[in-house]
């Protein structure tokens, strides 16, 4: 269990996030939670790299930035986005969603060999 | 045309108080260490109804339950129950994890008015029905108003 404010709580009051969709905040908050678990992290990477995933190409293109957003201290999120020429809003929206109909497959992929 | 796997998704959606209780019992059995979640939205209203022994169905069904959690185990269970998951195929509704920031939309002091219940290792915190209705009444969409009217009618909110 993490302690302290989540990313969404820290960003919620900033004007540029006033109309930011909760689903986008959720991908950041829960992506950061799962990134702390090696198996869950591997599953996310396997899922987002899956040829069936519609954002696979974007994930591969933005993978360094996405991994940094999910693993860095909250204080660094703006700098990470800026380093990749993005606003933080745009950067967060590059975190891919998870699709339930083949998310379960990422478990066997992760256990039995990477994609 | 090939039949979709979703052709077998039950059409019952989320409508009865017992569905929420059964789901939380299942998750309580599934977690292996102390965890917690906060339940908002119509699933929270259904939870209040079940705790009072009310069986009346929600007037406008819900497609999902909206939990919030800081715990890895709960997050993983929720990812396994997202839209399109086996959970949805089985239950007819899915889990939609919400960020903790949405709790800011509840009236000040909601934690002091919330109720909680333990399902084995899983502690479930549910804001009062009045607090759950506040964002719905602000939105004021027909479905939100129907949920509010239902809550007042069955007596979980005043």
Q: What's the pLDDT at B60?
A: 87
CB contact under 8 A, B75 and A34: yes
CB contact under 8 A, B70 and A2: yes
State the pairing for strand pair B94-95/B35-40. Answer: unpaired
- φ/ψ bin of A4: left (φ > 0), alpha (ψ from -120 to 50), beta (otherwise): left
Name the token pair of A31.
Answer: 């992506």
A16 DSSP 8-state letter: G
**Chain B residue with the nearest C-alpha to that of A99:** B84
* C-beta separation of B126 from B114 below 8 A: yes
Local confidence band at A113 (pLDDT 50, 70, 90 cut-offs): low
pLDDT over 80 at A112, yes or no: no
State the pairing for strand pair B64-68/B35-40. Answer: antiparallel
Q: Give residue ranges of A with CB < 8 Å to any B CB.
A: 1-3, 5-6, 8-9, 11-12, 22-23, 25-26, 28-30, 33-34, 36-37, 40, 98-101, 103-104
Concatenated DSSP letters of B18-73: HHHHHHHHHHHHH-SS-EEEEEEHHHHHHHHHHHTT--PPPSS-BSEEEEE---HH
Name the token pair of B39.
Answer: 């339940």
Q: What's the pLDDT at B1?
A: 44
The whole-angstrom separation of Cα B6 and Cα B22 is 22
Task: Calculate the average pLDDT of chain A.
Answer: 92
Looking up tokens 């339930």, which residue turns up?
A100
- φ/ψ bin of B117: left (φ > 0), alpha (ψ from -120 to 50), beta (otherwise): beta
Question: Chain A partners of B104 at a C-beta cutoff of 8 Å?
Answer: 9, 12
Q: Which residues contact A38 (CB under 8 A, 6 or more apart)?
A: none
Please tell me if residue B87 touches chain A, with a CB cutoff of 8 Å.
Answer: yes
Name the token pair of B130.
Answer: 């009045």
pLDDT over 90 at A39, yes or no: yes
Phi/psi for B62 (5° steps) reads: -105, 150
Please tell me if residue B82 touches chain A, with a CB cutoff of 8 Å.
Answer: yes
CB contact under 8 A, A26 and B72: no
Mutate to test the interface with B, among A26, A40, A41, A99 (most CBs of B within 10 A): A26
Pick from B36, B75, B86: CB nearest A30: B75
CB contact under 8 A, B101 and A12: yes
Distance from CA of A31 to the nearest CA of B (A): 9
What's the pLDDT tens digit per position in A72-93? 999 999 999 999 999 999 999 9
Q: What's the pLDDT at A87?
A: 97
CB contact under 8 A, A100 and B76: no
Q: Which residue has the higher pLDDT, A114 or B86?
A: B86
Pick from B76, B81, B87: CB nearest A40: B76
Please give chain B's pLDDT, 158 residues, in tens.
444 555 555 557 999 999 999 999 999 999 999 999 999 999 999 999 999 999 999 998 899 999 999 999 999 999 999 999 999 999 999 999 999 999 999 999 999 999 999 999 999 999 999 999 999 999 999 999 999 999 999 999 99
Could you give the count of Cα atoms lying within 13 Å of B7 in the half-sphere of its Cβ? 5
**3-class DSSP state for residue B114?**
coil
pLDDT over 90 at A21, yes or no: yes
């Amino acid at each position: 269990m993490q302690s302290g404010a989540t990313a969404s709580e820290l960003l919620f009051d900033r004007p540029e996030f006033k109309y930011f969709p909760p689903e986008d905040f959720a991908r950041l908050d829960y992506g950061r939670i799962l990134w702390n678990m090696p198996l869950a992290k591997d599953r996310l990477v396997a899922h987002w790299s899956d040829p069936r995933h519609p954002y696979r190409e974007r994930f591969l293109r933005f993978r360094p930035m996405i991994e940094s957003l999910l693993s860095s201290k909250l204080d660094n999120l703006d700098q990470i986005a800026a380093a990749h020429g993005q606003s933080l809003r745009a950067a967060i929206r590059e975190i891919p969603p998870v699709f339930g109909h083949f998310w379960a497959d990422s478990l066997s992929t992760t256990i039995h060999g990477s994609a | 045309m090939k039949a979709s796997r979703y052709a077998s998704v039950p059409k019952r959606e989320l409508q009865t108080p017992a569905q929420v209780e059964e789901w939380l019992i299942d998750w309580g059995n599934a977690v292996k260490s102390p965890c917690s979640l906060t339940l908002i939205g119509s699933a929270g209203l259904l939870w209040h109804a079940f705790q009072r022994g009310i069986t009346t169905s929600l007037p406008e069904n819900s497609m999902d339950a909206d939990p919030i959690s800081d715990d890895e185990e709960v997050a993983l269970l929720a990812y396994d129950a997202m839209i399109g998951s086996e959970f949805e195929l089985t239950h007819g509704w899915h889990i939609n994890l919400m960020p903790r920031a949405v709790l800011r939309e509840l009236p000040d002091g909601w934690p002091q008015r919330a109720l909680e219940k333990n399902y084995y290792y899983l502690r479930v915190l549910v804001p009062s029905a009045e607090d759950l209705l506040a964002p719905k009444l602000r939105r004021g969409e027909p479905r939100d108003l129907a949920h509010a009217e239902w809550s007042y009618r069955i007596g979980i909110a005043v």
